[in-house]
Structure 1
Amino acid sequence: MTGAEVLLKALEEVGVEVIFGFPGGAVLPIYDALYNNRKIKHVRTVHEQGAAHAADGYARATGKVGVVISTSGPGATNLVTGIANAYMDSVPMVVLAGQVSTDLIGKDSFQEVDICGITLPITKHSFMLRDKREILKTVREAFRIAKSGRPGPVVIELPKDIMASETNMEEQKEDFDLSFRVLSEKINSSHDEKENLEIAVEMIMKSERPVIYAGGGVKLSGASSALKTFAEKICCPVTTTLMGIGCFPHNHELYLGMLGMHGTPWANLAVSECDLLVAVGARFDDRVTGKTDEFAKNAKIIHIDIDSAEIGKNVRVDLSLHGDAKELLSRLIEIVPEKRHGDWLKRIEYFKNKYLLRDSRRELTPRYVIEEINELTEGKAIIATEVGQHQMWAAQYYKFEDSSSFITSGGLGTMGFGLPAAIGAKVGRPDKVVFDIAGDGSFEMNCHELLTALRYDIPVIVVVFNNRSLGMVRQWQEMFYGGRFSHSDLGDVADYARIAEGFGAAGYRVTRSDEVREAIKRAINEEKPAVVEVVIDKDEKAVPIVPPGKPIYQMLGID
């Protein structure tokens, strides 16, 4: 066997079914081994960044580790944005990066870069294979690290000569020496003292105005059911971060919606008035907290998180419970008494009635379009997004049925993420209808990945809100920069439906509200890659919005 064949056997052993990537000189031994492999599907994207985002979307949709492969040099560096995106959003990914032969490393050889060094700040760990006998154990360890604790990306650098060398499964070393294990791995799950759990219960029982603030960690730990049981037992309203959307039922009486810069008014006001904030799997990022010294300033804070480095990093906390969210919530459920908060729920209902967002069903607005998609899919589609106003509209108006249905770039905010992520999600969940909600600026970033969808018969649907501008940039320029629209105008030069048709996909252009439903239905029924271009007013805004640096109770765009 070659080293590349051992690599594929190792990937099969850890359950890999799909690899996204792009071939090149340094990984030709691996692609040669793939030629006769019948157990692992390979999806070649148009660009390596698309491959990384597709592996990311696949991981989020399936709960499995996403796998991406590239050649050395520019192939590897084209993965960097996708790796950083996965790192920021805690997505398990293994990156197979080609490298020049070991005798050429360090000599500025053709297409040589130190990809382990380049990605050091945005990976959980990196491996540089130097010994053909260490292929199997390196793959095993990479997958263990990618999924353990707080998930994230792991890079394996694969020199060409190691992949081409002769070896066999018998000579593969079984385990790493203890000295080589990842002793400095950032995340280590732990059990909190019984005393801390009892203190948490005491704080909960003393509270009259509690709020649960749930983040992406709830999804990653599979804690959605436990969160619902916990919230119902103590009658506590729940708000989520952008990454936490879907981890709590959208139609539940205790659900407040999203928190933060574009959160619901009642979620922001409830957190601002609460006397106890229970944060679960959330990291208090700036888009949630606004002005940090005004965030939940009247509240005691309990922080439940698997990553000890996040506790107290951005906001002071009164009690930390370090460990897996599902496990800790389950233990709290066992010992916390039931409680009711009638007056507090009435206060929140007042907020909802006062600031209820107006219906716009008769106009061609983003809300109208998202709600039509929601009705036609019954909230059961997977929704991936690009980044910008459309991302917020999707988060605000689609009613997600489960925690794996919303796939978006939260921490890094990567334009061009949505389409390849949608492709990866559809590969992993072919039973689901998959949409990419896009803006025209973001769609232009990676619209060429429509070719990937066409070549592999992956029927994803892209809804492009065309406002002839970089919408969120324009909104900020209007609201905070005196209306000086510097380089945010895209012009009326592109017909995205016709661009899709030029690729060979289905294309529909919508300019009136009465055309929306039929276009979406046809795109779903077409069962081929499709683009639905929706022409909207360039002055449409993502509101509410909290101005940067302001407390979250100071919102613009609400009545």
Structure 2
Amino acid sequence: MHGTYWANMAVMESDLLIAIGSRFDDRVTGKIEAFAPQAKIIHIDIDPTSISKNVRVDLPIVGDCKHILSKILSLLEEEDMDSFKAGLDKWHHQIDKFKAIHSMNYEQKGIIKPQYVIEKIYELTKGDAIISTEVGQNQMWTAQYFPFVKPRTLLTSGGLGTMGYGFPAAMGAQAAFPNKLVIDISGDGSFQMNSQELATVVQYHLPVKVVILNNGYLGMIRQWQEFFYGKRYASSSLEGFSPDFVKLAEAYGAVGLRATKPEEVVPVLKKAFSIPEPVIVDFEIDPEENVYPMVAAGEALNQMRLV
């Protein structure tokens, strides 16, 4: 639904799709009847009930993906891979063309863009951090703009859609890895689902950093209301109802910081990361920034809304 343009187009034009542990929910497939129409689908899953549940499968394989992938690699070693190179080069060139059509660029000027905050987090950490997310726009932007380079460094509730997951997940990660930088990227709505756990991180000296992308809305709900409900905004605005997050942090004995301008983003992040205590960083972002691309419910993956 919010995958990059080139990833969605690659799926739709592929001739072979290897799915490992995928449940093929509608957020992944879009319109099921139109999903990967040219592809032979190999579905690997340890749970046989998950195979062929939602999409047609040409080759079902039940088992532990670690062992199955090892066997696939050993079979590939017996093949003449040079014979595939020309086709792969052509395919990679096609993907580069997809990337040129929609490269995920955005314009940072005036009010803070959430994408900018996430990119700066990556630049400052070089990917050497454990990142958790809440649910909604913050989750999608993190997946799109933080290029994860190490395994097991993204903690997110995925399709479960659990608002409030990110903060306690970050707490657990920090307890397990006390010397690691752990960051919860949150929205102002999701954070309030479990903000009382500030007491826990202060009590146990867990130096979790919470980055709040504060747009004054339940952002994904507002986005759907804008696109599909004629901009009839109902129960999606948090303006006037949310606390002052800096004061909230301080009330619990944590550190609270705030950035309201783009030029404040990097200095505030650097300061937050240097403090060996729990820190809440409140970024006042563009309240009407949307997540793109977006595939509407019932549409095929190649029917993306790009602006």
TM bucket (normalised to shorter chain) is over 0.9
Aligned position for 1:503: 252
Match of 1:517 among 249, 258, 266: 266
Aligned position for 1:399: 147
Paired letter, 1:504: G
Deviation at 1:432, TM superposition (A): 1.3
Paired letter, 1:408: T
Q: Distance in 2 between matches of 1:290 and 1:450?
A: 38
Aligned position for 1:365: 113
Q: Which one scores higher on RCO, CA 8 angstroms, separation ≥ 6?
A: 2
Q: Distance in 1 between matches of 2:90 and 2:12?
A: 16
Q: Is the 8 A contact 1:440 1:466 kept in 2?
A: yes
Q: Distance in 2 between matches of 1:512 and 1:478?
A: 26
Q: Distance in 2 between matches of 1:359 and 1:478?
A: 20
Q: Distance in 2 between matches of 1:431 and 1:303?
A: 38
Match of 1:490 among 238, 254, 277: 238
Aligned position for 1:163: none
DSSP-derived class of the 2:282 partner = strand
- 1:157-195 residue CA offsets vs partner (Å, 9 max, x unmatched): xxxxxxxxxxxxxxxxxxxxxxxxxxxxxxxxxxxxxxx
Deviation at 1:431, TM superposition (A): 2.4
| 2:93 corresponds to 1:353 | no
Q: Distance in 1 between matches of 2:96 and 2:306?
A: 20
Aligned position for 1:390: 138
Q: Is the 8 A contact 2:19 2:43 kept in 1?
A: yes
Q: Which aligned pairs between 1:50-65 and structure 2 lie closer than 5 A?
A: none
Deviation at 1:360, TM superposition (A): 3.4
Aligned position for 2:14: 274
The number of residue pairs the alignment matches comes to: 298
Aligned position for 1:448: 196
Deviation at 1:452, TM superposition (A): 0.3
Deviation at 1:313, TM superposition (A): 0.5
Deviation at 1:411, TM superposition (A): 2.5
Deviation at 1:505, TM superposition (A): 0.7
Aligned position for 2:293: 544
Q: Is the 8 A contact 1:360 1:368 kept in 2?
A: no
Q: Distance in 2 between matches of 1:361 and 1:426?
A: 32
DSSP-derived class of the 1:459 partner = coil
- 1:21-43 residue CA offsets vs partner (Å, 9 max, x unmatched): xxxxxxxxxxxxxxxxxxxxxxx
Deviation at 1:557, TM superposition (A): 2.2
| 2:56 corresponds to 1:316 | yes
Q: Is there any run of 5+ residues in structure 1 with no aligned partner, and where?
A: 1-260
Q: Which aligned pairs between 1:178-257 and structure 2 lie closer than 5 A?
A: none
- 1:49-82 residue CA offsets vs partner (Å, 9 max, x unmatched): xxxxxxxxxxxxxxxxxxxxxxxxxxxxxxxxxx
| 2:124 corresponds to 1:376 | yes
Paired letter, 2:261: R
Aligned position for 1:158: none
DSSP-derived class of the 1:411 partner = helix
TM value normalised by structure 1: 0.52
Q: Is the 8 A contact 2:201 2:207 kept in 1?
A: yes
Match of 2:75 among 324, 330, 335: 335
DSSP-derived class of the 1:445 partner = coil
- 1:330-361 residue CA offsets vs partner (Å, 9 max, x unmatched): 11111122232111111111101121122435
Q: Is there any run of 5+ residues in structure 2 with no aligned partner, and where?
A: none
Match of 2:163 among 406, 415, 418: 415
DSSP-derived class of the 1:402 partner = coil
- What is the identity percentage for the equivalent residue pairs of Structure 1 and Structure 2? 50
Deviation at 1:537, TM superposition (A): 1.8
| 2:302 corresponds to 1:553 | yes
TM value normalised by structure 2: 0.94
Deviation at 1:301, TM superposition (A): 0.6
Aligned position for 1:463: 211
Q: Distance in 2 between matches of 1:292 and 1:317?
A: 12
